Amino acid sequence: MAKPASEYTRKRNFDVTSEPAESKRKGKARSGALSFVIQKHDARNLHYDFRLELDGTLKSWAVPKGPSLDPKQKRLAVHVEDHPLDYAAFEGSIPKGQYGGGDVIVWDRGIWQPHGDPRKTYADGKLKFTLIGEKLSGEWALVRTRLKGSGSKEQWLLIKEKDDIARPAAEYDITEAQPQSVISGAHVGAGRSAPAKSKAKAVEAKPARKPAPKKANVVFPDTLAPQLATLVDAPPAGDWLYEIKFDGYRMLTRIQNDEVRLFTRNGN
C-alpha cells in the first residue's frame, strides 16, 4: 500500500511552497459523500494526479497520460503518497527546486461512489467505483498490477468500464477536448492559453485559406439524458454549489433549423 501521509510532509518545505501543510491531526473520515479530484500537473513531465478521498485522506495516483473514456485504453496509474484533504482545492505554482515543481490546476472534481467496501477493494488492489464529476462520470476501475516502477511505487491501471459514457479514443479525447481548470479556466502544459493579442497576430500572418467545405447535416437524437440528482446522506464538503431535488420535470432545449423545442428526458 501507499506510504502514510507523513511522507507528504517530508518531501515538502512549506516555507517555500504554497501547497497546504498537513494538519497535525490526521483528517477524520467524513460521513456522507466521498470526494475525488484530478489535478493536471505540469512538473518535469506533464501528468494527471488522480485522488480519491478515503479514511480522512486522499489516496493518490499519478496518471502520465490522463484518463481515457475508451475502455480499451488502460492508463498507467503510479501509486504515490497520500495527500491531505485540503490538497483537493490546490491550484498554483510549486517553485522550481521543490518536490513536484511546476504549475497545478484542478482539472476535474466531484464525488465517487465505491462499489462494495472501499477499504477491502483498495487493499485487494481492485477498486471499482462510479464518478460523478464536472468532466468525468460513469463506471471506472483502478486495478493494481504486479509490475514495479521506480523505487517501491506500485503500478496500477485506471480503466473506464463499458457504459453509456464510454467513447472510442479515435472519436473523443477528453483531455484534449477539455484541457482547462474547472475552478479558474486556466491551462497548463502544451494546452496553455496564449494571450489574445498573440493569437490575433498569428492569424494575420497566415495565408488565406480555401473556404471550408460545408458540414454534413447531423441527425439529432429523439431523446437526450440530462444529468440527474444523486442521493447522498449529506452534501459534499467545501465550496460546492448543489441543488436540492424538488419534484417536477427536468427540461431540455433543442434548437434545430431555427425551431426551438422543449422536451423531457422521456421525449415528451
Catalytic residues: 245
Cell of 30: 467524513
Q: Is 16 left (phi over 0), alpha (psi -120 to 50) or beta?
A: alpha
Contacts of 153 (CB under 8 A, 6+ apart): 78, 79, 80
Q: Write the DSSP string, the chain.
A: -PPPTHHHHHT--TTT--SPPPPSSPPPPPSSPEEEEEEEEESSSEEEEEEEEETTEEEEEEETT---S-TT--EEEEEEEEE-GGGGG--EEEPTTSTT-EEEEEEEEEEEEESS-HHHHHHHTEEEEEEEESS-EEEEEEEEEEEE-STT-EEEEEEEPSSTT---TTT--HHHH--S-TTT----GGGPPPPHHHHHHHHHHSPPPPPPPPPPP-PPPS----------SSPPSSS-------SS---EEEEETTEEEEE-TT--
